[in-house]
Structure formats: structure tokens, C-alpha cells
Amino acid sequence: MRVLHVEAGKHLYGGAKQVLYLLSGLQQQGIDSLLVCPPGSAVAAAAREIGVAVEELSMGGDLD
């Protein structure tokens, strides 16, 4: 199974932190994930550190 996750936040707290917990848990179960998030975001770096595939995509601002 492969799962696509989209996280629009640029910082590593709140929902983005929960996404990382989920990615880690799914990885331990042998489920492949792809995280789509803003370029240069903290969540992208953290996901890569745990071996998750990341695709960076420009998204609207925090107020959109």
C-alpha cells in the first residue's frame, strides 16, 4: 500500500508533528508514504531524516 500525505504547514509543530508520528508508524508497518509539503519546510527535513519520500510543492500562504 502507498499513502500520499499533504501537509501545507511550514513549521514542525501541531498537525505537522502528528503527520511525522503517522509517517513513522506507517513506515514501521511496511507501508510506503509520500509527503507533499512546501519547499524548505521543517516537516520536509524531518520526514527525510526518517527515510520518508518527500516532494516539495509551492502552496498558498498561511492566510490562504
Average pLDDT over every residue of 21-50? 97
Boundaries of every domain in the chain: 2-56
The model scores a pTM over 0.75: yes
Q: Is the pLDDT of residue 19 over 60?
A: yes
- For helices 42-49 and 15-28, the axis angle rounded to 10 degrees is 20
Per the model's pLDDT, the better-predicted residue between 6 and 61 turns out to be 6
User: Residue 26 — left, alpha, or beta (φ > 0 → left; ψ -120 to 50 → alpha)?
Assistant: alpha
